Amino acid sequence: MKSLQFTLVITLFTALFATLQADSTVPKEIVSEPHGSTIPWDANRVDSHAPIGVMGDHTHHTGEIMLSHRFMYMDMRPNYVGSNKVSASSQLSMQGSGPFQIMPTNMQTQMHMFGTMYAPTNRLTLMAMIPVIDKQMDHIVANGTTFSTATNGIGDFKFGGLVGLFEKGNTRAHLNLIMSAPTGSIEETGFVPPAAGTIRLPYPMQLGSGTWDFKPGITWLGQGGNLSWGAQLRSTIRINDNGAGYSLGDEVGADIWGAFRLSDAISTSLRLSANIWGDIEGRDPMIMGPVPTSDPNNQAGERIDVFAGLNYHCQNGFFKGHRLAIEAGTPIYQDLNGPRLGMDWMVIVGWQKAF
């Protein structure tokens, strides 16, 4: 499986990188390089944090606590087969003449992500995040009627640590070692008119994975003058099958970004995000029906998104130290095991405050 192969590559790269750096560098120390910068990392810069859509992007000093709240809204439409857009009606057929009598036409996801970070040492920052999710999907039936389904609730709880690898002048790197606990429901139901009853909803409408997931990664950051930059490699490895008899596909992703500091309080950013994920392994026997979202083999895909962002760090007054940020993005490439809905656009708004 392609996604598993990429996951293994990232995991091996992370382990190698840690081994090479652990014995030769000391976190939080300014190290002079013959051809490098000796300017220390400035954690108080407005652009010392990555764009708000990047998770686990920075560490903290001993004893620091940070609270955060992010709001994400994503709109998905239209359907794709491979990299080609297709209309929902083109994939429909009446009962007995084809696989799909129901097609999704669009989907909206809203998520509130509440997070906290605490640094017991300079080298280790602990973190935890819990999402509250709201989903809605609209459908069209082969006979021309339409209906909607919706779910909402708590998603999967994520926790772990960011382990500093090195800090050399104005660059630094850390490992992301995160676990995801199956606190989100995988038994969400809804009334579906063509079924004339309440049934378990398809996989994209569930709130969690149902599995314990390991999410390793590595993050590299740099800053100089009015510019800052960074990159993050990340992955999701499903450790077990869930209680319904399946596991979501493994995932791998990469982000690269740059930011420009307009003033001490304001910066702008540009980010590219690439993601690839596999099909579902196994099947929930309670999820069925003539709709592609119920097919475990119609879930894989790959996508590249571009995001533009604006960041604000209050420098004085009652709100000194508070950070506000926004990012908006859209895909520039997606190739999906369809037919399935592709992403149309996304916006993320966030608040952060360290104590």
Helix (H) or strand (E) holding 276: strand 266-277
Helix (H) or strand (E) holding 10: helix 2-22
Q: What is the CA radius of gyration of the chain?
A: 22
The pLDDT, as a whole number, for residue 257 is 98
Q: What is the DSSP string of 163-192?
A: EEEEEETTEEEEEEEEEEE--S-S--EEEE
Alpha carbon distances (Å) from 323 to 45, 109, 119, 272, 347: 11, 24, 19, 22, 17
pTM: 0.88
Reported as a single tens digit per residue, the pLDDT across 104-137 is 999 999 999 999 999 999 999 999 999 999 999 9
Alpha carbon distances (Å) from 235 to 53, 174, 261, 277: 16, 15, 30, 10
The pLDDT, as a whole number, for residue 216 is 98
The pLDDT, as a whole number, for residue 40 is 85
The pLDDT, as a whole number, for residue 148 is 98
Q: Six-digit token pair at 104? A: 């999704």
The pLDDT, as a whole number, for residue 41 is 87
What letter does residue 21 receive in the DSSP assignment?
H
The pLDDT, as a whole number, for residue 38 is 62
What are the two backbone dihedrals, phi and then psi, of residue 59, each rounded to the nearest 5 degrees?
Answer: -110, 175
- Please list the rounded mean pLDDT of every run of 10 residues in the chain (355 residues): 45 45 40 52 93 96 97 98 94 76 97 98 97 98 95 98 94 97 98 94 98 98 96 97 97 98 97 98 95 96 98 95 98 96 98 96
> Quick one: residue 289, left, alpha or beta (phi over 0 = left, psi -120 to 50 = alpha)?
left
Closest of 16, 74, 25, 29 to residue 275, by C-alpha:
74
Q: Report how far residue 60's alpha carbon sits from residue 234's, in angstroms, rounded to the nearest whole number.
A: 20
